[in-house]
Amino acid sequence: MPEYEVRVSVLRHVQRGGSPSCFDPVLASRMDVKAVESLLDGNTNVMVGLLKDEISLTPLEKVVKLKAKINLDLIRVSDIVSI
């Protein structure tokens, strides 16, 4: 039977791209609370996010219609540092 090594990875740290700061767990907790309160209020089809330093709900319909502008310079830098 093959042996596997198991490692723990805290996804939010990986997603944010660096070591966690005190801001990270606080933000996660604020978003968690908003999500649960939103569900208890009967809201559906919304996304919890941070907008102008405030936790807010955005309708998913609005989110999927947004067109993000891609910063080509950031892609270039990413290509350079990922070598």
Contact 22, 13 (CB under 8 A): no
Percent of the chain with pLDDT over 70: 86
* Whether the predicted model's global pTM rises above the 0.85 cut: no
Q: With cut-offs at 50, 70 and 90, classify the pLDDT of residue 18.
A: low
pLDDT tens digits for range 53-73: 999 999 999 988 888 788 899
Percent of the chain with pLDDT over 90: 46
Does pLDDT of 51 surpass 70? yes
Q: What pLDDT is recorded for position 56?
A: 96
H or E element: which one contains 40? helix 23-40
Spell out the domain ranges in the chain. Answer: 21-81
Q: What pLDDT is recorded for position 14?
A: 61
Q: What is the mean pLDDT of the chain?
A: 86
CA 26 to chain centre: 13
